[in-house]
Amino acid sequence: MLTLRKSQERGYADHGWLKSYHSFSFANYHDPQHMGFGNLRVINEDRIAPGKGFGTHGHRDMEIISYVLEGNLAHKDTLGNVKGIPPGDVQRMSAGTGVQHSEFNHAPDQTTHFLQIWIEPNVTGIPAGYEQKTFPDSEKRGRLRLVASPDASEGSVTIHADARLYAGLFDAGESFNLPLAPGRKGYVHVVRGEIDVNGKRLAAGDAAKLDGETRIELSSGKQAEVLVFDLAG
C-alpha cells in the first residue's frame, strides 16, 4: 500500500526567525494520525533567518540527522565538535546518554534551509557520538546513494537504528528501483522538484509511505532530489 502526504498537509510553524514544516507531530503541532512512520519519528524542513539559530539545548536517546539544502548550518556541541554543515554533507548525532548542542546560521544575508531527521535508536544509553561526511552530487545522480546505515555500508554515516537512508538526484530519463524486504517499510520525501514514486506523482515537500510493497520505483524526475528511507516495520 502506498499513501501520499502532500506538502500542504504538514504542520507549519512561523517563529519569525524560523519557518518550519513538520512531517510528523512535533512541538506545538500534534496530529495523532502522524506521529511517525516505523521508527522514523521526525522530518522537519527548517529555514533559519540570517544571523539566527537554535540556542544550546539537549537531546537523549535519538539518532539525529541534518541534511542541508542551502546555506550553511553551524553546529556546536558538548562533545567538543564545532563544525559547519554545507549542502552535500550529512551529519549524524547520536544523542545517547545526553548531549547539548546549538545550530546557527552565521551568514549575514542568506537563509539556511535544511532537513532535521530523527530516527528512534535500537539501543539506548550509549555514549553520545557525532559523525559527518560529504556525498558529492555525482554519487547521487540517477541513483540512490546510501548516506546513513547501521553498519556504515558504502561509506555511509553510522546510525544506531534499524534504518537505511538514501539520497538521490533524478532528471528526465533517470530511474531507479530499490527493493524492500518483507516486513520493511519505505518512506520517500521529495526535497525539491518532481518525481514519480511507484507511479504516483510527487512534488517538493510531498511524501509517500509504503507498507507491504516489494520495491520503491523512482522515475520521470524533473530536477528532483529525494530522500528514501528503508525502515523497520
Confidence bin at 70 (pLDDT 50/70/90): very high
Domains 10-134 and 137-231 share a fold: yes
pLDDT at 233 over 90: no
Distance between CA atoms of residues 102 and 127, nearest Å: 19
pTM: 0.94
pLDDT at 101 over 70: no
pLDDT at 225 over 80: yes
- Helices (H) and strands (E) counted in the chain, each on its own, are 0, 20
Distance between CA atoms of residues 127 and 133, nearest Å: 20
Of all residues in the chain, what percent carry a pLDDT higher than 70?
94
Reply yes or no on domain 10-134 having CATH 2.60.120.10. Answer: yes
pLDDT at 58 over 70: no
Distance between CA atoms of residues 163 and 6, nearest Å: 23
Confidence bin at 130 (pLDDT 50/70/90): confident
What does CATH list as the number for 137-231?
2.60.120.10
pLDDT value, residue 95: 75
Nearest CA among 218, 69, 90 for reference residue 155: 90
Tell me the domain boundaries of the chain. Answer: 10-134, 137-231
pLDDT at 82 over 90: no
Q: Rounded mean pLDDT of 127-150? A: 95
Which range has the worst mean pLDDT, 1-10, 32-41, 58-67, 106-115? Answer: 58-67
pLDDT at 24 over 90: yes
Q: Is 133 helix (H, G, I), strand (E, B) or coil?
A: strand
Q: Are 91 and 83 in contact (CB under 8 A)?
A: yes
